[in-house]
Structure 1
Amino acid sequence: MVGENTNHELLDALDPERSPLLPDRHPTTDLFVCDIFDAAPKGDMASMEHPIFSLSTKPDRRVRRYEHGHAWIEITPSVKGLATVHDRDVLIYCISQTIAALNEGKPVSKRLRLRAYDVLTATNRLTDGRGYDGLKAALERLLGTKIVTNITTGNREELDGFGLINSFKLVRQTREGRMQELEIELSDWVFNAIRAKEVLTLHRDYFRLRKPLERRMYELARKHCGTQAEWRIHLERLQKKCGSNSTLKEFRRLVGTIIAQD
């Protein structure tokens, strides 16, 4: 297991009473930020269904291929590693803002201009230097992670290689070197899913879940439960769909810990 939840497991051992949720870092917001929260968090169904993002807390440079039925996907990292489950927050924010604009009848584009502070606040991240550094690192991994797949979004099948985002640009920086505005161009794969509204609403506490595996399990449950009272899956298949690189025995332990803390 390459760093999956390692830091979290150590902290749990030191403090058994530790909440599985991060603190709500931005419980009160000004009127401008309140508008941001009107856009409900949404994730694209394709990456909720398939294990695209790494669970590792360390650079994950494994090439992974996932197959299920006729669908397959191959994900190749850059030297900085695969995009992580926490990096996905940036995409969720972009998808949420674009869907909100579509619902209001506004024109949308693959290219978004955003305030870095808004992204950090809406995704419950720190807004100090560490938060901005983390956002920049997330953008680099999202850009560097390349995908080849036959999974369709918006009834379109992309068989060429593409990134989760096509590009990003820091538009303005403060004197301290922190980004203020940034531009992100989404990939056709993500943008096709947005235009086809192949998305699902996520609970806002998703951004407070500490462990990557917790987030991944929530995504799968949200995708498959729908209006059903329950969804059943064998542990081996759950491990595959989570994209876990741990042994089955270790994966069972990790899942058991999450259940016990729920």
Structure 2
Amino acid sequence: MMEPQIDSLHARSPLLPDRHPTPDLFICDIVDAAPKGDMASMEHPVFSLATKPDLRARRYDHGDNWMEVKPSADGLATIHDRDILIYCISQLVHAMNQGRPLSQIVRFKGVELLKATNRMTNGRGYDLLKAALERLAGTRITTNILTGDKEITRGFGLIESFEIVRETRDGRMQEVEVKLSDWVFNAIQAKEVLTLHRDYFRLRRPIERRMYEIARKHCGRKQEWRISIGLLRKKCGSTSTSKEFKRLVRKVVDDDQATDHMPDYRVRLDERGGGDDDIVIF
């Protein structure tokens, strides 16, 4: 009884459908929250890859940088919750490029965010958006990682607060205000941002999104970039065993070889006898 379900799953496109097709390329600037000059923030696993509530506090150390991330009762902010930050940062970068003054408070219509990030615009889409806002505000971070050459010495949320300014008659959030943390806002002011491909929002699996972010940070204009699978696992913030993580990476590689679904980059796996020395190539 299980085999047809597995075959059906494998036949499914690795990408989510384009729910809101548009003729214009959606360009989205994302925060590169890192020491200026190091530009390593996309290496640091701020967001959980879990698809169920992740209630585990964690610490990440890399070189001289460290970060502690603690969940609220709703769990850690997930990599899909990051969509909200991406959208808010895009709005502020756009305003900055137009010479308009910046504010830590971003006001937007819920439906515009849902469409821009390829999310559902039905009732469930709004419910998921509210839950994501709760996790972003509830997840607390302590770190020595600088943004805009400034260190935030107190604990902070990825967003400091949010307010549903106006709702429709059926209770859907019509307008929302989000106050970004100083840590994120400092990065925007310092122009520590990178650009994401629109199809980032169509990647189904959390590991694919995280792999894309890491590649986006490191590849630049290089023809290829290599990383050991052990280090990739660390930078992804994966809690899977080494064996399971390699299986997940191999699935991404196999899908990309078959469908070329990963935005901007092709992905290969150079297996060197197993273990953490295997190399992932973008």
- Provide TM-score, normalisation by structure 1: 0.91
Asked whether 1:93 is paired with 2:80, we answer: no
Task: Tell me if structure 2 keeps the 8 A contact 1:51–1:243.
Answer: yes
Q: Secondary structure at the match of 1:233?
A: strand
One-letter amino acid of the counterpart of residue 228, structure 1 = K
Is 1:171 the equivalent of 2:158? no
Count of residues in correspondence between the two structures: 246
User: How far did 1:15 drift?
Assistant: 2.2
> Corresponding residue for 2:230?
236
1:138 aligns with 2:136: no
Cα drift, residue 231 of structure 1: 1.2
SS of equivalent to 1:125 = coil
Q: Partner of 1:80: helix, strand, or coil?
A: coil
The corresponding residue for 1:251 is: 245
Q: Tell me which amino acid in the other structure corresponds to 1:175.
A: R
> Which residue number corresponds to residue 44 of structure 2?
50
Q: Distance in 2 between matches of 1:77 and 1:127?
A: 27
Counterpart in the other structure of 1:70: 64
Q: Alignment partner for residue 20 of structure 1, among 14, 17, 20?
A: 14
Cα distance in 2, alignment partners of residues 239 and 145 from structure 1: 22
The question of whether the paired residues in 2 share the 8 Å contact of 1:12 and 1:18 is answered with: no
1:80 aligns with 2:74: yes
Structure 2: which amino acid aligns with 1:213? I
Q: Cα deviations across residues 117-140 of structure 1 (Å, max 9, x unaligned)?
A: 000000000000011001000000
Structure 2 partner of 1:105:
99
* Aligned-residue identity in percent: 63
List 4+ stretches of structure 1 deviating above 4 A: 10-13
Query: Is the 8 Å Cα contact of residues 43 and 236 (structure 2) preserved in structure 1?
Result: no
Q: Is the 8 A contact 1:167 1:185 kept in 2?
A: yes
Helix, strand or coil for the counterpart of 1:112? Answer: strand
How far the C-alpha of 1:159 sits from its partner, in A, is 1.8
What code does the residue aligned with 1:115 have?
K
SS of alignment partner, residue 183 of structure 1: strand
Q: Which amino acid aligns with 1:55?
A: L
- Give the equivalent residue in structure 1 for 2:211: 217
- Superposed CA RMSD: 1.5
Separation of aligned partners in 2, 1:137 and 1:206: 21
Unaligned stretches of 5+ in structure 2? Answer: 34-40, 257-282
Contact 1:139 1:168 (8 Å CA) reproduced: yes
In structure 1, C-alpha distance between the alignment counterparts of 2:180 and 2:87, rounded to whole Å: 12
Distance 1:23 1:12 in 2: 20
- Give the Å deviation of 1:48: 2.0
Query: Contact 1:75 / 1:146 at 8 angstroms: preserved in 2?
Result: yes
In structure 2, do the counterparts of structure 1 residues 12 and 68 end up closer, same or farther at CA, with 3 Å as the change threshold?
farther
Is 1:160 the equivalent of 2:147? no
CA contact (8 A) 1:26 1:121 kept: yes
The separation in 1 between residues aligned to 2:232 and 2:91, in whole angstroms, is 30
Deviation digits for residues 93-127 of structure 1, max 9, x if unmatched? 00011001000001110001110000000000000
The CA deviation at 1:14 is 3.7
- Is the Cα contact below 8 Å between 2:75 and 2:135 reproduced in 1? yes
Higher relative contact order (CA 8 A, sep 6+): 1
